Structure 1
Amino acid sequence: MTAVADGPREVVLGVDVGGTFTDAVLLAGERRWTAKAPTTPEDQSAGVLAAIDAVLEESGLPASAVTRFAHGMTVATNALLEGRLARTTLCATAGFVDLVELGRQDRPHLYDLARRRPAAIAPPERRIAVAERCGPDGVELPLTDEEAARVADAVAATAPEAVAVVLLHADRFPEHERRLGAALRARLGPDVHLALSHAAVGTFREYERAATTEVDAAVSPLVGRYLRRLAAACRERGLPAPTVLQSSGGVCALEEAAGRGATTVLSGPAGGAAAATLVARSSGTEDLLGCDMGGTSCDVLLVEGGRVGERGGGEIAGRPIALPTIDIHTVGAGGGSIGWADDGGALRVGPRSAGADPGPAAYGRGGTEPTVTDAHVVLGTLPADRPLSGGVRLDADAARAAVGRLAERLGLEVDACARGILRVADAEMERALRVVTVERGIDPRRFALLAYGGAGGLHAAGLASRLGISRVLVPHAGGVLSALGLAAADGRRDRARTVLLRGDAITDAALAVPLDDDPPPGARRERRYDVRYAGQAFELTVGDVPPRVDALRRAFDAAHRDRYGFDDPDAELELVTIREATTTPGPGAGLGTAGGEAVDVAGPSVLHLPGATVVVPAGWRARSDADGTLVLEAEAAPPPPAPWEVEP
């Protein structure tokens, strides 16, 4: 282990928690080191610290050399998926305490009449009615000091860990929420988390605002405890406290994430989005179709013009999250996804995963069910004599036995069953890629496929062939690319305000009103506008528009035409919500270098990168560029298929 003398002033650490592995990247100038450690689901910080220790040992740098630590996590996501949430009480305007449970009239699955929505986080006995009311034009029933004190006493009687306050029209008239929040804080003390809807969300639509505030209240105590515990462990090691990746793709300070836990529900996948923009910039390929295949799931996203798409909201575990999120689509197809036979005897893969514990059978940790990883071991695309990153040694006999048991149930040979597992996994990922392209009227053939995650390079060429894509990029750090994106991510905070302006009320001055009153030095503001034609129920978000009415008009008409195939330049516009992202530049990190020889290989071949394996099928050629990124190109059209797509 050799220390780096006279190291650079900026040493950046990024750590991303996945379902199976926790990845760490350390950047010091142009140098890059990577490491993996098994994820520890019961306490993610243990896996995080193990990955940090491993990457510091690899680099030879002391912990005290690290100047910045960015962290992507799944604490909030797992809490929602598993239903392990803080004890939450909901305060709502009288007559609206059941708003979240009632939801909307649409069914989550149109033809499944038995499918239930997720239960409301605050049960009926922890819903407190507040005698107050604001309408769209202001206060209709004032909130008295006596009522605020009564509500505070009623909330205290429920012994909550967190309280969600959602009063009607608080997005425009927040004073009642502020006064009730002050009364609750005085009565409950500093240890109970308060989520006020105007601060947690800030936009209209009562159901989405209420549901998001309830989520924020329920996950923030868990996120806060985890982050503060991790920060304490970092201090003991001489590391800086972590900044935290938000669902919007930017990092924020630890206490901001702890206070607004709902902003982190897609923290994990968002790191890949930041990394995708790095690859777009370094490779000169601004249109990319990203495919992040890890151990548990596959996340897909679109990069157009060097930028990743955003949404004004998303959904997790069936609950709406009315906060800015990177536009990512996820399916349960990863290296740990389990192959199984359904009641009709058909081969299925996922969404259930072997996860980090016990993991695939080939990991030798007690797993017995066949996974995508086991199928690769059986077919030899993951050679058993080569340890995986993180020190995992593969057990070929265990993998073959697991796949063999499924093969017997299906009446197949073992190798045929392994090929079938990979074909089904490819089909799942292909469907996900079509969701963000073909189903939106976008031709995937004009994009290069960016494959990353530990398993991305194994399936990249096969997925490209299915979509007619002839060029694939696999970064040298592809196995830990999300962690690399974390290390390079900008700081960011988001504000949103519903304005509901129509026609002549939309003015240049209204478009330019600042939402962030105290931007940090050197910050830049990015504006986005939610707009619709008057009379429509839903809006489109347009960005990269100067704050002028004529520019907004042209941008919205074009966006409507692209999305729906027509526009109406004579229709009256309605400006619904103004969104503002205040960003501060990240450390300016690039992809970095990790040494290694240049590659120029014709398929069929299997290439090994740090943390990832790349299959180069027959008819493809792989070359490395100046950053070490592998560029796979089909030598003929249409692109040749993956080896498991070809009958032996």
Structure 2
Amino acid sequence: MLLGVDVGGTFTDAVLVSGAELHTAKAPTTPADQSQGVMAAIAAVLARAGARPADVELLAHGMTVATNALLEGRGARTAFVATDGFTDIVELGRQARRDLYRLCATWPAPFAPPERRFGARERMGPGGVLRALEGADELADAVAASGAESVAVCLLHAYRDPSHEIAVGEALRARLPDGVHVSLSHEVVGTFREFERAATTEVDAALSPLVGAYLRALAARAADEGLPEPRIMQSSGGLAPFERAADHAALAVLSGPAGGAAAAALVSAAAGERRLLCFDMGGTSCDVSVVEDGAVREAAGREVGGRPLALPMVDIHTVGAGGGSIGWRDPGGAVGPRSAGAEPGPACYGRGGAEPTVTDANLVLGRLDAAKPLSGVELDVGAARGAIEPLADELGLSVEECALGIVRVANAEMVRALRVMTVERGLDPRAFTLLAFGGAGPLHAAEMADELGIRRILIPPASGVLSALGLAAADRRTQVQRTLMLRGEELTDDALADAIEQLRPAGERLEVACDMRYRGQAHELTVRDLRSADELRAAFADLHEERYGYRDDDSGIELVTLRVTGVDPGPRVELRADHAELSLFVPEGWQREQTEHGVVVSRA
């Protein structure tokens, strides 16, 4: 049996796969200790299936512990070690500004304040050592005296030659108290661009003690119940042993949303849908991803909570619009990002919530059936109306008009996210099928498709718990990346084969991605799964022309970074239409059809 458990903002979902049978359950998420909600969901789904913990062969888990800590700026007491003269690199950042005309823009404060930043007397250059490392033991003693609970080490050019960084790490581990975590940049990132590498390593150091404590406690509770050791979804969309996620929490910052992307790939293969625009709307947020040619689009890095993460991850855009998102008044009316979450939840859940949410609005509008429990929760229409009424009075609207306004504002936020992932990346959304899942996704899909000109929507079986199903069926993936800088004649078949072999991780099959650019450019495009130097050059030129409208045959082409992924394919899971449990809104002008791959809603 395969067990997937996905922690959301409102509910924790569990899916148990036994052959062709699928059993599902939900339990309220427990924000103070997510493991309580996880174990409650596991107990519920095992009871529903009449199964024992010993029957479970695989336990796959998607979590939000790292995400929440990063967004809230919570982390261990962190120290930062850099090459002398570069200790403020995370705070200095880059000259690019998110808000060009905001004179007083704020940035997240580094996890390591100035008093816990330390310079290492060393310098590495392109050709090797420029200044030998001195005083590593004294440096470690100073870090220990700062009371740091975790240490990030990022020395210049350690991606090329990590010897100094390794020596500093050994000195720290020898002289720091037991339990103090040490993150080394060449182990976490392994690529160039010092600011992004330093910022990512600092995030890894700050979050790893928190995530490690959670995962080790969860693993102990699972073992006590007779369950297998959990495997953790990484931001890259593959499962890893829990110890890897515990030691390098930065790899799992998008653990929860990545489960939905893995599920989208599963649906794409099962339904033969090669192009999917994926829309996962849960209780607190909406995650958007894209499947092209049957594969989920990936990114070489991104910002999360205003902090850059230079790590491969599923290309996901998230907005704070979910079923629990709260409607409030600004000059134009707003929904989210503040959410009622799991405690107390929407007003209609009867758990003490008093503010109007998207779920309350859907209930008032009759899009949710008041007579049918939602995820096991009895719905209270009177409480929903009571929560919306004060906002309606303030806006001079009826309760129904206000509820419709809440839904429309939430839809506008989500449509904007869908446009970011398509129009702003040069893709035509009309060429995609909209894949709607998550507890609230099918309620909003048709109106959003109307806005984007999409004529076909697929709501897969088990849509409300699809992310948990994606966890159970996900591949096991181990990814290694290094900056190579192979220029001109240096890029040969032999050089490429040697580099791949040096990085080769364990796995049944290998996936190879090359970040390439024309000489003189500052950003790269990714070419995948080609092993010939000439084929790489040709594919890059074609991709550059497709993306930017021109090719430059007179400029040299550089292979900047190589990423090699070892993949052990996940178990085969069947998606059958009788697995569907669905809250669906089909407006006028759309028609619903049941198919073997789920519910298809299309323009009449």
Q: The TM-score by the shorter chain falls in which range?
A: over 0.9
**Are residue 626 (structure 1) and residue 596 (structure 2) matched?**
yes
Q: How far has the Cα of 1:111 moved from its partner? A: 1.9
Q: How far has the Cα of 1:358 moved from its partner? A: 1.1
Cα distance in 1 for partners of 2:503, 2:428 equals 41
**Are residue 424 (structure 1) and residue 377 (structure 2) matched?**
no
Q: Is the 8 A contact 1:274 1:482 kept in 2?
A: yes
Q: Is the 8 A contact 1:516 1:582 kept in 2?
A: no
Cα distance in 2 for partners of 1:216, 1:516 equals 25
Q: How far has the Cα of 1:282 moved from its partner? A: 1.1
- 1:367 corresponds in structure 2 to 353
Q: How far has the Cα of 1:618 moved from its partner? A: 2.2
Distance change >3 Å, CA 519–CA 103, structure 1 → 2: closer
Q: Is the 8 A contact 2:445 2:457 kept in 1?
A: yes
Q: TM-score, normalised on structure 1?
A: 0.91
- 2:362 corresponds in structure 1 to 376
Cα distance in 2 for partners of 1:301, 1:573 equals 30
**Are residue 560 (structure 1) and residue 530 (structure 2) matched?**
no
Q: How far has the Cα of 1:294 moved from its partner? A: 0.5
Cα distance in 1 for partners of 2:184, 2:400 equals 57
Tell me the SS of whatever aligns to 1:198: helix
Q: How far has the Cα of 1:49 moved from its partner? A: 0.5
Q: How far has the Cα of 1:13 moved from its partner? A: 0.3
- 2:90 corresponds in structure 1 to 100
Q: Is the 8 A contact 1:515 1:580 kept in 2?
A: no
* Number of residue equivalences: 603
Q: How far has the Cα of 1:491 moved from its partner? A: 0.3
- 2:392 corresponds in structure 1 to 407
Cα distance in 1 for partners of 2:353, 2:483 equals 51
- 2:3 corresponds in structure 1 to 13
Task: Pick the aligned partner of 1:234 from 222, 244, 252.
Answer: 222
Cα distance in 2 for partners of 1:103, 1:581 equals 30
Q: How far does the alpha carbon of each residue in 1:102-150 deviate from its partner, in whole angstroms, 9 at most, with x for none? A: 0011122222221211001100110111101101221100013xx1111
Q: Is the 8 A contact 1:32 1:594 kept in 2?
A: no
Cα distance in 2 for partners of 1:592, 1:188 equals 54
Distance change >3 Å, CA 515–CA 110, structure 1 → 2: farther
Q: Is the 8 A contact 2:321 2:337 kept in 1?
A: yes
Q: Is the 8 A contact 2:483 2:560 kept in 1?
A: yes
Cα distance in 1 for partners of 2:599, 2:327 equals 30
Q: How far has the Cα of 1:593 moved from its partner? A: 6.3
Tell me the SS of whatever aligns to 1:244: strand
Which consecutive residues of structure 2, in runs of 5 or more, have no partner in the other structure?
none
Q: How far has the Cα of 1:190 moved from its partner? A: 4.0
Name whichever of 564-573 and 398-407 sits farther off.
Answer: 564-573
Tell me the SS of whatever aligns to 1:400: helix
**Are residue 85 (structure 1) and residue 75 (structure 2) matched?**
yes
Superposition map of 1:495-510 within 5 A? 495-510=480-495
Q: Is the 8 A contact 2:284 2:322 kept in 1?
A: yes
Q: TM-score, normalised on structure 2?
A: 0.98
Q: How far does the alpha carbon of each residue in 1:517-558 deviate from its partner, in whole angstroms, 9 at most, with x for none? A: 5643x52111101111101111111113x2212111111112
- 2:44 corresponds in structure 1 to 54
Tell me the SS of whatever aligns to 2:472: helix
Q: How far does the alpha carbon of each residue in 1:137-193 deviate from its partner, in whole angstroms, 9 at most, with x for none? A: 21100013xx11111111110121111111110000100011111111111144111
- 2:121 corresponds in structure 1 to 131
Cα distance in 2 for partners of 1:457, 1:320 equals 32
Q: Is the 8 A contact 2:232 2:242 kept in 1?
A: yes
Superposition map of 1:316-465 within 5 A? 316-342=304-330, 344=331, 346-389=332-375, 391-465=376-450
Q: How far has the Cα of 1:594 moved from its partner? A: 4.6
Letter in 2 for 1:349: V
**Are residue 477 (structure 1) and residue 462 (structure 2) matched?**
yes
Q: How far has the Cα of 1:570 moved from its partner? A: 2.6
- 2:253 corresponds in structure 1 to 265
Q: Is the 8 A contact 1:495 1:515 kept in 2?
A: no
Q: Is the 8 A contact 1:488 1:590 kept in 2?
A: no
Distance change >3 Å, CA 259–CA 592, structure 1 → 2: farther
Q: How far has the Cα of 1:28 moved from its partner? A: 0.8
Q: Is the 8 A contact 1:530 1:575 kept in 2?
A: yes
Cα distance in 2 for partners of 1:425, 1:314 equals 24
Q: Is the 8 A contact 2:276 2:434 kept in 1?
A: yes
Q: Is the 8 A contact 1:561 1:567 kept in 2?
A: yes
Cα distance in 2 for partners of 1:90, 1:235 equals 35
**Are residue 587 (structure 1) and residue 571 (structure 2) matched?**
yes
**Are residue 613 (structure 1) and residue 583 (structure 2) matched?**
yes
- 2:148 corresponds in structure 1 to 160
Task: Pick the aligned partner of 2:524 from 533, 539, 543.
Answer: 539
Q: How far does the alpha carbon of each residue in 1:71-111 deviate from its partner, in whole angstroms, 9 at most, with x for none? A: 00011111111122011111111000001010011122222
Which consecutive residues of structure 1, in runs of 5 or more, have no partner in the other structure?
1-10, 596-608, 636-648
Letter in 1 for 2:223: R
Tell me the SS of whatever aligns to 1:214: helix
Q: How far does the alpha carbon of each residue in 1:466-509 deviate from its partner, in whole angstroms, 9 at most, with x for none? A: 11111110012000010000000000111111011211111112
Cα distance in 2 for partners of 1:369, 1:555 equals 53
Letter in 2 for 1:458: L
Q: Is the 8 A contact 1:278 1:590 kept in 2?
A: no
Q: Is the 8 A contact 1:27 1:592 kept in 2?
A: no
- 1:175 corresponds in structure 2 to 163
Q: How far has the Cα of 1:510 moved from its partner? A: 2.1
- 1:285 corresponds in structure 2 to 273
Letter in 2 for 1:22: T
Tell me the SS of whatever aligns to 1:481: helix
**Are residue 109 (structure 1) and residue 76 (structure 2) matched?**
no
**Are residue 524 (structure 1) and residue 493 (structure 2) matched?**
no
Q: How far has the Cα of 1:619 moved from its partner? A: 2.4
Q: How far does the alpha carbon of each residue in 1:419-469 deviate from its partner, in whole angstroms, 9 at most, with x for none? A: 111111111111111111112221111111000000000011111111111
Tell me the SS of whatever aligns to 2:368: coil
Q: Is the 8 A contact 1:31 1:592 kept in 2?
A: no
Cα distance in 2 for partners of 1:168, 1:487 equals 40
- 1:256 corresponds in structure 2 to 244
Distance change >3 Å, CA 381–CA 593, structure 1 → 2: closer
Cα distance in 1 for partners of 2:542, 2:5 equals 39
- 2:172 corresponds in structure 1 to 184
Cα distance in 2 for partners of 1:377, 1:506 equals 60
Name whichever of 435-444 and 586-595 sits farther off.
Answer: 586-595
Distance change >3 Å, CA 581–CA 402, structure 1 → 2: same
